[in-house]
Structure 1
Amino acid sequence: MIEVKNLTFSYGKDKQALHGLNFKVGKGEIFGFLGPNGSGKSTTQKILTGILKGYGGQVTVLGMDIAAVQSQEFFRQIGVLFEFPYLYTNLSALDNLNYFSSFYPSENVRDPEELLDMLEFKRGFLKKPVASYSKGMRQRVSMARALISNPKLLFLDEPTSGLDPSGAVLFRKIIEEERQKGTTVFLTTHNMVDADLLCDRVAFLSNGQIAALDTPRNLKEENRSIHSQESTLEDVFIRYTGRGLD
């Protein structure tokens, strides 16, 4: 589903953001891509989604060479939840979703109201402008936007940000249901609970390099000392990256 070979990227001559990344993501896998701020997570995701060009190495997504992708066929097969919701704030949730769904073949589009009901969006706000929504409500609309086209591949950036605990549980349930349908999920997050509960494998990114890549269980087991309890995934993350989650 995703194959990355020797991926490099620089912002100008003196700021290399990525240093030869190598990883694969299989069909139906939830793959966590975790790192401190400034580690290269966002740069990598922008490359994988076809937004950022000018990189070195080889990147194949959905069987397509991203460097050569120009066809709408690629973009119709992916769904993206951005860290900061990209919505038209003067429009309502329904108007936003109806607008974004117009870019996809009608046979692939899910019903906007059914999606919002699944995401427990408050029906009283369906036709009110996004500008009046809380952060959690905007996150629900953004997730609906990512799911509207029944994508084969989901890119989720901090999906539970702005949600209360029950909302976070709901989102994790929905992400797991998408995986059970065969959807592949590329997850970037600072939330180690999300990563531990959801991900089949995680990669820890540090200074533009992959410091570790394995299942959460294996990483915790390998980093447990003989006299201590099992490490948390956050403990392991800090051990490999040398930094906290800020």
Structure 2
Amino acid sequence: MDRNTVIYAEQLSKKFKDESALKGLDFSVQSGEIFGFLGPSGSGKTTTIKILTGQLAQTSGRAIVLGKPVEQMNERIYEQMGMVTDHSGIYEKMTVYSNLNLFANILGVKKERVDSLLQRVGLFEHKRKLAGKLSKGMTQRLVLARAILHQPKVLFLDEPTSGLDPSTAISVHELLIELKENGTAIFLTTHNMEEASTLCDHVALLNEGLIVEYGTPKALCLKYNQNKSYHILLKDERELTLPHSEETGRKINQWMADDQLVTIHSNEPTLEKVFLELTGRELH
């Protein structure tokens, strides 16, 4: 484990009575990396986050965060962490601004940072609104702003753009990339495979407590490239779907030379399709 490793798990396992929720997970997350932890409900994502944040003890194996075994986490470690989960911890009877300002005072963060973050997550115009009156998407944005207020070294995100409109989701993506570029390690769970492909440097595909595949999104899609195909429209109005092969390549080149090709679209493998091929399950 080198000094840039922020999260390290070795043979991480968790049992609840006779049921194994996690079965010997091995992975690491580096400083300045967005790591996608992908799997359907019940696959072990939340259990893993709870162990990595010291909320739940593992049954066996090792987990180290910011150089500290999770069972020895202390206030200094927690001060360098940020977290976004379903349990927001937002004070509903306080305004949006007061919520962030309270945590800014606790964490010793300058007031300018509060206004800047409210702008970035699209809540500046709502800063006088009571937090309890916010929509689900707006609450999610407030939770994210609070989690990154102190520019943490490691950030745990559980479905961070769930319920957000597309433009706000893009703003959140830009913010996460900025955090990454400034050295924050980001541990991300999401059901949005397009989001994972766009944001993540590496992903682990989790199924029934096991990591069934690991790598960069691009490498995994290329590895399971056998099912790539092309949808082709010709000038004689024929529509064809052909498999990726040398023969198809020759046909396409000939149609192009004869000026017969109208459109061609490749049906590329996706993380969703990779997971389905590996497990027979969809990521929902």
Q: Does 1:114 align with 2:100?
A: no
- In structure 2, the residue matched to 1:95 is 98
Looking at structure 1, the residues matched to 152 and 134 of structure 2 have their Cα atoms a distance apart, in angstroms, of 26
What is the CA-CA distance between 1:37 and the residue it aligns to?
Answer: 0.2
Looking at structure 1, the residues matched to 29 and 139 of structure 2 have their Cα atoms a distance apart, in angstroms, of 29
Unaligned runs of 5+ in 1: none
What is the CA-CA distance between 1:242 and the residue it aligns to?
Answer: 2.2
Greater shift in the superposed pair: 163-172 or 76-85:
76-85
- In structure 2, the residue matched to 1:159 is 160
Map 1:184-203 onto structure 2 (within 5 A).
184-203=185-204
Looking at structure 1, the residues matched to 279 and 31 of structure 2 have their Cα atoms a distance apart, in angstroms, of 28
Percent identity between matched residues is: 42
Unaligned runs of 5+ in 2: 1-5, 229-242, 245-266
Contact kept in structure 2, 1:9 and 1:56, CA below 8 Å: yes
| 1:67-117 deviations in Å (ceiling 9; x for gaps) | 122x2101000111113433111111112112233432x158872121111
Q: Does 1:242 align with 2:268?
A: no
- In structure 1, the residue matched to 2:231 is none
Residue aligned with 1:111, SS: helix
Looking at structure 2, the residues matched to 221 and 51 of structure 1 have their Cα atoms a distance apart, in angstroms, of 37
- In structure 2, the residue matched to 1:73 is 76
- In structure 2, the residue matched to 1:211 is 212
What is the CA-CA distance between 1:149 and the residue it aligns to?
Answer: 1.1
Looking at structure 2, the residues matched to 108 and 82 of structure 1 have their Cα atoms a distance apart, in angstroms, of 25
| 1:145-196 deviations in Å (ceiling 9; x for gaps) | 1111110111111111110111111111111111111111110110111100
Distance 1:55-1:99 versus aligned 2 partners, 3 A rule: farther
TM-score (norm 2): 0.81
Residue aligned with 1:22, SS: strand
Contact kept in structure 2, 1:156 and 1:186, CA below 8 Å: yes
- In structure 2, the residue matched to 1:35 is 39
What is the CA-CA distance between 1:118 and the residue it aligns to?
Answer: 1.4
- Structure 1 runs of 4+ with >6 Å offset: none
Paired residues, what number?
242
**Cα RMSD for the two superposed structures:** 1.6
- In structure 2, the residue matched to 1:53 is 57
Looking at structure 1, the residues matched to 127 and 193 of structure 2 have their Cα atoms a distance apart, in angstroms, of 32
The letter for the 2-side match of 1:41 is K
Residue aligned with 1:53, SS: coil
- In structure 2, the residue matched to 1:168 is 169
Looking at both structures, which has the greater relative contact order when contacts are Cα pairs under 8 Å and sequence separation is at least 6? 1
Q: Which has the larger radius of gyration?
A: 2
